Every structure is written in structure tokens, then in C-alpha cells.
């Protein structure tokens, strides 16, 4: 009897059978990887064996990764090489199906791998858990246990560390392109030639005999300031305990001078500064050509001194300066103390230790000493004030004008010591005030009408003498007339 099956159903059944077969084939092909951590699934006649590779403390210089390793499996008619796939950065995994039995498992390294530089720790249910050692070979057993897993954990522990990899570059610290990381010089060093540097030096000394030479009994001066100027560049230094000073300079025109200390006078050189052209003025000299040594020395070639000097400074002590008074002083005088209205008078003054000097009556600020002329219209007092930061001195001079005479035929008497000025109009004379001709002069006043004043008082001796001379002359005339008549 023939089974009549529609063609459509045959096609559907064929597709279903193909899908089932493919599913089981895929399931069994991926089965070892499903148990990559610590398990394996057994088949009827063979067993899945999981192989893993770890690299601990991965500091080895060659940069090996776990997936670069593989395992050789030999035994029971098998001789297979199991490659590994990355699982983590330091872990790789592979698998193989093995019949029951014992096998020799050998770790295979990548090209250049030196087993002697590595330790190996084997572990797992299917391999012999030997202590850490150097062996890359292990005996494993495939059976019907729950898991057939073997792991090889490697650490880089070289017995003889390899020489470091050279780093090429410029190793000269004096070079412009010095490379501090370079271990091997590759000839690439570059040098910039610096500008020559020269040394200007000399001594400062007490030239007691002012002969311009440093004699054996003359002492050097310590702590004196020296200045070296080139345009806007100014260098400064001080002499040391031996009087020595020095400057390092480049090419150019330099002016060397000393700062004179108080109480000293420079006597050498003349003029008091050096104008030095570096290096045009230099001549090669032997080292012992000068004493004390005062040379231009090119620092980069100090073994061949170049002389431009010596550049020494001689000084002589002239004594400490006079002490400065803290209080100003002044003198003030007038050429005349009594004048007629409209006359001119010369005022003369001098001061000491004053910063500013002023005179009142419209004269104002003047020099610390001098003269000036004023026109006097009436009695006046002139006051001079001398100031400094701490105190003030004041001087005064007075100038008086003469009084006008009265009417009539009277006369005015001028004396060194004024007494009386009176007219002839019958008015009683007045006793004047004392008028000194020089400031501070002692004067005396004679009251009006006193004896011998000549005005309104008793007869003077001169008038009495005139009276007796007149009497004598009259007597002589009478006698002569009497004789002639007889």
C-alpha cells in the first residue's frame, strides 16, 4: 500500500528536521565554552577538557598577553594543539574533547618566550596541583568527574634580568639639547657658543705717601663701593678684607669708579675714573707682571690672563669732617642806624647751619648770607629768621629817621651821642629819646636846659671866655686912646 503524503507536508518536515539537527550540532560545538569558568559537560564517550591561561603581576618587558600562549595535548593516540581566546586582559581560554585517560599537557609560549624567566602554578580538578615551579609540562586525566579543568598561571620572575633597553639621545649636561632620560649618546648634542666673559679687578688701598703705588707698609681698604657703568647698565661691588674687587663683564666700553668714603680724598688715578674698552685695550701679559694682581681674565680661558690694568684706587685720609651744629646762628647789621627820610641803608647778614633765611618788611626769602639795600621812609625794625629742621634763630636791626627842625634862626647840633634838637622860635627844648647809631650802643641823654647844653641853660664856658676877651680888648682900646690925647 502506498502512503500518500502531500508534497507540502514533506517540505515542512524536511525543514523541521534540518533545524533540529543544526540546533544540536551548535549546542555540542559550544558546550566546552559554556563551562569556561570551572565546569565541563561529558559526552557519552569523550569528555570536555577546559584549559585556561593567566599572567599575574604583568610587569614583564616583552608585553606578552595570555592569548599568545597555547597548549599541546599528547596521549591515547592524541597529539593536538589547543589555541586560546582572550577572556580578560590577562586571561585566555580554550577547550578540547578527550576520551577517558591520562594525557601530557605542555604550555607553549609565543616566539622569544624564555620559560626559565617564568614561574608556573598549575591548578584545577583535572591536573596535578604541584607547587609553584618552573615546569611547563603537566599530566592531566580526563574522566567522568564533574569538571575537567586545568589552569596554568604564569609570573615573570627572571633569574638573570635582561639588560635594559638603551634610550638614545644627548647625554652631555652642558649641551643645549641634553636629554636626562637618554642612556646612550647618539651624537646629537648641540652647543651654543656663549659670548666671552672678562674679569675686571683691582685693589683699593690707603696711599699714605700719595705716590700712586702700593707700598709694603700701606694698608688695603675693606668695604669700599666700586661702580662699573656701561650705558644704562650699572654694576656694583665692594672691596673685600684684602681690598680686592672684581667684575665679570662682556665686550663694551665700561667706566670704573669708586664711591669716596667720608673723611678721605682720592689721590689715584688721575682723573679719578677708568674708561675701559673690552677687549680692544688688552694686551697679553705674564701672570706675575703686576703686584697686586689686577688683570682682565677671560673666564673661559683663565689659564691665559689678559691684562687691561691694573685698575687700583689710592686714597688718603684727611680727617673727619667738622661736626654740624644742630642750632642755626645769625648776624645782622645795617650800614647806618639813623638816617634822613628817603635815605638808603645797606643790610648785611650771615648765617650758619640754616636751611632757609627770610627777612620781613617785604624782603622775603634770601640767601644764607648776603647784602641788600632798602629805602627808609620812617623808623623801622628789620627781623631776620634762620631756620633748619630742628630750630630757629632770629636777629633784628633797627634804623631810625631824624626829626624835622623848627622855624626861626635856630640851629641843630648832631653828636655821636644825640642830645637835643631845637629851633629858635622860643619853644622850650624837649628831652629826646636815645638814638643809638649802632645796634646795642650805649647812649646818654642830657636833659634840656641842663648846664653846658648850649640851649636855655646856664652860660657856657665858651661864652664866658668870649666875654672876658671882649672886656680885655675894650680896656686896651681905652688905654691907647688916653695916651694919645696926653
| pLDDT-wise least confident of 165-169, 215-219, 306-310, 455-459 | 455-459
Span 346-350, mean pLDDT?
93
The upper half-sphere exposure of residue 150, i.e. CA atoms within 13 Å in the direction of its Cβ, equals: 29
List the grid coordinates of 218. 700701606
pLDDT band at 321 (very low <50, low <70, confident <90, very high): low
* Top mean-pLDDT range of 125-129, 163-167, 402-406: 163-167
Span 71-92, mean pLDDT?
86
Give the percent of the chain with pLDDT over 90. Answer: 29
Q: Is 481 helix (H, G, I), strand (E, B) or coil?
A: helix
Mean pLDDT of the chain: 74
pTM for the complete prediction? 0.31
270 shares a domain with 305: yes
* Top mean-pLDDT range of 261-265, 419-423, 434-438: 261-265
Q: Element (H or E) spanning 466, and its range?
A: helix 461-485
Q: Is 411 helix (H, G, I), strand (E, B) or coil?
A: coil
Is 434 inside a domain boundary? no
Nearest partner of 148 among 78, 87, 93, 95, judged by Cα? 95
| pLDDT-wise least confident of 60-74, 223-237, 381-395 | 60-74
Q: What are phi and psi of 364, to 5 degrees?
A: 90, -155
Is 174 inside a domain boundary? no
Tell me: the pLDDT tens digits for 439-461?
444 444 444 444 444 444 445 56
The residue with greater pLDDT, 16 or 151, is 151
Q: Is 229 helix (H, G, I), strand (E, B) or coil?
A: strand
Span 25-46, mean pLDDT?
41
Is 108 inside a domain boundary? yes
Domain containing residue 62: CATH number: 2.60.40
Domain containing residue 388: CATH number: 2.60.40.10
**Predicted local distance difference test score (pLDDT) of residue 202:** 92
Span 412-432, mean pLDDT?
43
The residue with greater pLDDT, 309 or 17, is 309
| Cα(332)–Cα(292) distance, integer angstroms | 57
286 shares a domain with 248: yes
Is 78 inside a domain boundary? yes
**Count of domains observed in the chain:** 3
345 shares a domain with 284: no
Is 267 inside a domain boundary? yes
Peptide bond into 270 cis (omega under 30): no
The upper half-sphere exposure of residue 311, i.e. CA atoms within 13 Å in the direction of its Cβ, equals: 30
The residue with greater pLDDT, 60 or 400, is 400
**Predicted local distance difference test score (pLDDT) of residue 21:** 37
67 shares a domain with 43: yes
| Cα(379)–Cα(96) distance, integer angstroms | 141
**Predicted local distance difference test score (pLDDT) of residue 476:** 82
**Predicted local distance difference test score (pLDDT) of residue 17:** 43
Q: β-pairing, 364-366 with 306-307?
A: unpaired
List the grid coordinates of 132. 609553584
Sign, Cα dihedral of 262, 268, 271, 277: negative
Is 190 inside a domain boundary? no
b/e map of 282-313 (b: 16 or more CB within 10 Å)?
beebeeeebeebbbbbbeeeeeebbbbbbbbb
Asked if 170 and 186 touch (Cβ cutoff 8 Å), the reply is yes
| Cα(65)–Cα(54) distance, integer angstroms | 9
User: Range of 373's domain?
Assistant: 329-401
220 shares a domain with 312: yes
Q: Which of 317, 350, 371 is the last residue of a domain?
A: 317
Is 344 inside a domain boundary? yes
| Cα(270)–Cα(410) distance, integer angstroms | 77
Q: In what order do the strands lie in the sheet with 338-339?
A: 338-339, 392-401, 380-387, 356-359, 364-366
151 shares a domain with 85: yes
Using alpha carbons, list the distances in angstroms from residue 285 to 196, 244, 279, 289: 18, 20, 14, 7
Asked if 86 and 94 touch (Cβ cutoff 8 Å), the reply is no
Query: Is the pLDDT reported for residue 129 higher than 80?
Result: no
CB neighbours of residue 162 within 10 Å: 10
| pLDDT-wise least confident of 86-100, 373-387, 397-411 | 397-411
Amino acid at each position: 500500500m502506498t502512503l500518500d503524503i502531500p508534497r507540502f507536508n514533506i517540505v515542512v518536515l524536511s525543514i523541521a528536521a534540518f533545524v533540529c539537527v543544526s540546533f544540536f550540532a551548535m549546542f555540542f560545538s559550544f558546550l566546552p565554552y559554556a563551562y569556561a569558568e570551572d565546569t565541563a559537560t561529558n559526552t557519552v564517550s569523550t569528555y570536555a577538557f577546559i584549559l585556561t591561561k593567566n599572567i599575574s603581576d604583568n610587569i614583564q618587558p616583552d608585553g606578552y598577553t595570555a592569548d599568545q600562549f597555547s597548549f599541546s595535548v599528547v596521549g591515547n593516540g592524541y597529539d593536538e594543539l589547543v589555541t586560546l581566546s582572550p577572556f580578560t586582559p590577562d586571561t585566555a581560554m580554550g577547550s578540547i574533547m578527550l576520551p577517558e585517560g591520562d594525557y601530557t599537557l605542555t604550555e607553549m609560549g609565543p616566539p622569544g618566550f624564555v620559560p626559565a624567566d617564568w614561574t608556573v602554578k598549575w591548578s584545577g580538578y583535572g591536573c596535578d596541583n604541584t607547587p609553584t615551579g618552573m615546569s611547563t609540562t603537566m599530566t592531566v586525566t580526563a574522566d567522568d568527574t564533574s569538571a575537567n579543568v586545568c589552569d596554568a598561571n604564569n609570573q615573570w620572575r627572571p633569574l638573570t634580568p635582561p639588560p635594559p633597553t638603551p634610550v638614545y639621545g644627548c647625554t652631555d649636561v652642558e649641551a643645549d639639547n641634553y636629554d636626562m632620560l637618554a642612556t646612550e649618546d647618539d651624537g646629537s648634542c648641540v652647543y651654543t657658543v656663549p659670548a666671552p666673559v672678562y674679569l675686571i679687578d683691582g685693589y683699593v688701598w690707603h696711599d699714605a705717601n700719595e705716590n700712586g703705588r702700593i707700598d709694603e707698609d700701606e694698608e688695603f681698604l675693606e668695604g669700599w663701593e666700586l661702580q662699573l657703568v656701561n650705558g644704562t647698565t650699572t654694576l656694583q661691588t665692594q672691596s673685600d678684607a684684602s681690598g680686592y674687587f672684581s667684575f665679570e663683564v662682556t665686550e663694551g666700553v665700561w667706566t670704573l669708579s669708586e664711591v669716596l668714603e667720608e673723611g678721605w680724598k682720592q689721590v689715584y688715578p688721575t682723573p679719578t675714573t677708568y674708561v675701559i674698552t673690552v677687549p680692544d685695550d688688552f694686551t697679553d701679559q705674564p701672570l706675575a707682571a703686576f703686584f697686586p694682581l689686577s688683570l682682565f681674565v677671560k673666564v673661559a680661558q683663565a689659564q691665559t690672563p689678559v691684562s687691561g690694568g691694573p685698575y687700583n684706587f689710592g686714597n688718603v685720609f684727611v680727617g673727619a669732617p667738622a661736626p654740624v651744629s644742630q642750632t642755626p646762628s645769625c648776624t645782622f647789621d645795617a650800614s647806618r642806624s639813623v638816617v634822613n627820610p628817603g635815605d638808603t641803608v645797606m643790610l648785611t647778614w650771615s648765617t650758619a647751619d640754616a636751611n632757609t633765611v627770610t627777612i620781613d618788611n617785604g624782603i622775603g626769602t634770601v640767601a644764607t648770607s648776603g647784602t641788600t639795600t632798602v629805602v627808609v621812609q620812617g623808623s623801622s625794625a628789620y627781623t631776620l629768621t634762620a631756620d633748619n629742621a630742628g630750630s630757629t634763630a632770629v636777629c633784628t636791626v633797627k634804623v631810625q629817621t631824624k626829626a624835622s627842625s623848627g622855624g626861626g634862626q635856630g640851629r641843630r647840633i648832631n653828636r655821636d651821642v644825640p642830645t637835643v634838637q631845637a629851633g629858635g622860635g622860643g619853644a622850650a627844648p624837649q628831652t629826646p629819646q636815645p638814638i643809638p647809631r649802632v645796634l646795642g650802643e650805649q647812649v646818654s641823654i642830657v636833659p634840656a636846659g641842663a648846664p653846658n647844653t648850649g640851649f636855655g641853660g646856664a652860660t657856657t664856658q665858651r661864652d664866658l671866655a668870649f666875654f672876658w676877651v671882649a672886656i680885655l680888648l675894650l680896656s686896651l682900646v681905652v688905654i691907647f686912646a688916653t695916651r694919645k690925647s696926653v
